[in-house]
Structure 1
Amino acid sequence: MSEFAEILDETTGLQPNKVLTVEKVQWVKHWNDRLFSFAISRPSSFRFRSGEFVMIGLPGESKKPLLRAYSVASPSYAEELEFLSIKVENGPLTSHLQKIKEGDEIYLGRKPTGTLVADTLLPGKRLFLLATGTGLAPFLSIIRDPDIYDRFEKIILVHSVRRVSDLAYYDDLVNQIADDPLVSEEAAEQFTYIPTVTREEFERTSRINTMIEDGSLFTDRIGLPKKLDPATDRLMLCGSMDMIKDFEKYLNEQGFKEGSNSEPGDFVIERAFVD
C-alpha cells in the first residue's frame, strides 16, 4: 500500500504518515482578492533553515494528499509556520486552500529543503533579495534571521508587484523587524526595503531589472558602488519565471556564478518554483 493511501479517515480527520504531519491552522489573513497569508502549528521535531520551502496541502478528490511547495515565511526560530499564497480560482490546491480558517487541519511535509539559504552563497558585503509576487515569502524568513546580519554588511530586499494591494506585508514588514528583539538593532543599520509597483501609481514604478540597469536601485541608503559587483555582491532570486530567466542571463553575463547547496556561489535561484 502506498504511503499516501488511506491517509484520510472520515471520522477522525486527516492522518499523518511517514512523510507528512497534520497541523492546525492558527490564523488566516486575506490581503486582497489575489493573496492571503496563513500560519499553522509547528511540530517540535520540525527543523528548517530560513529561506527553505516545504510541501503543504489538503486532501484531493481521491482523498490522497494534494501537495504543493511553499516557502516558509517565518524565521527558523518561530513557534508557528507562516506561508504566503496566491489565490487561483480553479487551482487544484489553492482553490481550496484559500478557504481555510482557524482550527482547520492541513498537511505538512516532514523534510524542508531549498537553495535560498545563506550557506549557498560565498561571503560578500551586500546581499540583494529580489522578489516578485509571492516570491517575497522566503525573504520574510531570511530578513528576521540574526545570522544573515553577521554574514553581510547590507541586506536589500526588493519586492516588485503589479498593484499596490499586492504589496503583502507592506505596512507590517518594517515594523515587524523593528519589534524583533533578535534583529532589531542590526536591521536598523543594515536592512533596506525597496517596494515597487509596475501597473499603478506608487513612489516607485520601475521593474527590478530597470532599476539595476539605470542605477536607481543603488541609493545612498545601500551604499556604493552603484552597480552589481561579483567581488562583493550576492543575490537571491525568487518569483516569476520571466524575472528569474532575465536575471540568470544578466548575472551570468556579468560574471556572477550560481551557487547551490553543494557549491556556494554569487547568486542563487529557487528552482522549485521555476518551470
Structure 2
Amino acid sequence: MTDATVAAPAPSKARGAFLVERVTWVQHWTDELFSFRTTRDPGLRFQSGQFVMVGLEVDGKPLVRAYSIASPAWHDELEFYSIKVQNGPLTSRLQNIKVGDEVLIGKKPTGTLVLDGLKPGKRLYMLGTGTGLAPWLSLARDPDVYERFETVVVTHTVRQVADLNYRELFETELPNDEILGEIVAPKLRYYPTVTREPFKTQGRITDLIASGQMFRDLGLPPFNPAEDRVMLCGGPSVLADLKAQLEAMGYVEGSIAQPGDYVLERAFVET
C-alpha cells in the first residue's frame, strides 16, 4: 500500500470582490441569535480577530455587511455569529440559510482587533457584548494569544441568560480540548454577565469594572495600563463608555501602525 497524496482543497468560485462559499452548519440559538459556518477558500488569509464582508446575492447584486470571523485563523472553515433583525435588509434573509446554500465572503479581511495592535503585556482582556463575542471566539482558539499573555479573560455581557451562547465552549470544551487544552486551561478565564435576568453575575460590564466587582470575582488586580491589554467589541454606546473608562485610567488606543494599550472595533452596524 502506497501513501496517498491528499489533494488540496479546490479554490472557491469568485464573483467580483467576493468568494462564493457553501454553508456547512447552522445553529439557531434563540429567536434573535444564530451562528453558521461556510467552506473556506484555501487562498483566503486572515488574522484571528479580523472581520470580512459577508452576505447574499439579492436581485443580482451583493447585499453584505461586516462580520467578525468567529473561527481562528488556522481553521479550514469560516464561522460567523449573527443577530436576526426581522426587517433588516440582510439578516432577515440570512437567518433562513440552510446547509448547502451559497454565501458571499469578501476577499479582503481587515480590522483592528488583532494582537499586533497591542503592546506586550501580562493579561489580555477581551470585553464583548452580544454578538461582539465573535472576535473573541476566534482569538480564544488561537495559540498565539496564549504565547503572548499569562492570563486571557473573555467577558460576555448579554440581556438574557439564553443569550450566553458559546458558554460551554469557554467553560468546558476549550480547557479540555485535545490539542489546545494544555495551553488554554491554565490561562483562559470566562466571565459571563447578564443585565436583565437573575444570574450569578449581573450588570453591565462598565459597572462591574467601575465597582471593581469584575476583578474581585476573577481574583485579579484592577486595570493597570503597564500590565493589562484590552480589546473591545460591542454596541456603540457601551464601546464609548468603555473607551472613556479606559482612557481615564491612562490607556492609549492602539493600531497596527502604532500599538497601544487597547483596541476596539467600530465597523459593525445592525442590518
Q: TM-score, normalising length from structure 2?
A: 0.92
Consecutive unaligned residues in structure 2, runs of 5 or more = 1-11
- Specify which of 251, 254, 258 is matched with residue 259 of structure 1: 254
Residue number in structure 1 paired with 2:104:
107
Asked whether the 8 Å contact 1:156–1:222 carries over to 2, the reply is no
Partner of 1:107, secondary structure, is: strand
Residue number in structure 2 paired with 1:58:
56
Q: Deviations over 1:207-257 (max 9, x none)?
A: 11111111111137453x2x1111001000000111100011111111100
Consecutive unaligned residues in structure 1, runs of 5 or more = 1-13
Partner of 1:175, secondary structure, is: helix
- Specify which of 42, 45, 49 is matched with residue 44 of structure 1: 42
Matched, 1:240 2:235: yes
Residue number in structure 1 paired with 2:197:
200
1:157 Cα offset (Å): 0.6
Distance in 1 separating the partners of 2:27 and 2:219: 32
Q: What are the within-5 Å matches in structure 2 for residues 91-106 of structure 1?
A: 91-106=88-103
Residue number in structure 1 paired with 2:84:
87
Asked whether the 8 Å contact 2:153–2:191 carries over to 1, the reply is yes
Counterpart code for 2:45? R
Distance in 2 separating the partners of 1:256 and 1:143: 23
Moved over 6 A (4+): none
Residue number in structure 1 paired with 2:207:
210
Distance in 1 separating the partners of 2:176 and 2:104: 31
Residue number in structure 2 paired with 1:229:
224
Distance in 1 separating the partners of 2:47 and 2:73: 6
Please provide the CA RMSD for this pair: 1.6
Distance in 1 separating the partners of 2:269 and 2:227: 27
Counterpart code for 2:135? P
Q: What are the within-5 Å matches in structure 2 for residues 172-183 of structure 1?
A: 172-183=169-180
Distance in 1 separating the partners of 2:237 and 2:33: 20
Q: Deviations over 1:52-91 (max 9, x none)?
A: 000111012x320001000010111111100000000010
Matched, 1:169 2:173: no
Q: Is the alpha carbon distance of 1:15 and 1:79 closer, same or farther for their aligned partners in structure 2, counting shifts above 3 Å?
A: closer
Asked whether the 8 Å contact 2:13–2:21 carries over to 1, the reply is no
Counterpart code for 2:18? L
Partner of 2:267, secondary structure, is: helix
Counterpart code for 1:152? F
Residue number in structure 2 paired with 1:150:
147
Q: Deviations over 1:171-213 (max 9, x none)?
A: 3333331243442112111110000110011111121111111
Number of equivalenced pairs? 259
Distance in 1 separating the partners of 2:219 and 2:123: 8
**Relative to structure 2, which stretch is displaced further, 174-183 or 239-248?**
174-183
Distance in 1 separating the partners of 2:247 and 2:96: 42
Distance in 2 separating the partners of 1:111 and 1:138: 16
Distance in 2 separating the partners of 1:133 and 1:109: 23
Q: Is the alpha carbon distance of 1:37 and 1:188 closer, same or farther for their aligned partners in structure 2, counting shifts above 3 Å?
A: same
Counterpart code for 2:29? W
Q: Deviations over 1:83-134 (max 9, x none)?
A: 0000000101000000000000010111101110100000001111000000
Residue number in structure 2 paired with 1:11:
none
Residue number in structure 1 paired with 2:117:
120
Partner of 1:58, secondary structure, is: strand
- Specify which of 138, 143, 154 is matched with residue 141 of structure 1: 138
Distance in 1 separating the partners of 2:229 and 2:84: 32
Residue number in structure 2 paired with 1:68:
65
Distance in 2 separating the partners of 1:222 and 1:114: 31
Q: Is the alpha carbon distance of 1:274 and 1:63 closer, same or farther for their aligned partners in structure 2, counting shifts above 3 Å?
A: closer
Distance in 1 separating the partners of 2:135 and 2:29: 18
Q: Is the alpha carbon distance of 1:49 and 1:63 closer, same or farther for their aligned partners in structure 2, counting shifts above 3 Å?
A: same
Distance in 2 separating the partners of 1:42 and 1:203: 38
Matched, 1:249 2:244: yes
Asked whether the 8 Å contact 1:161–1:198 carries over to 2, the reply is yes
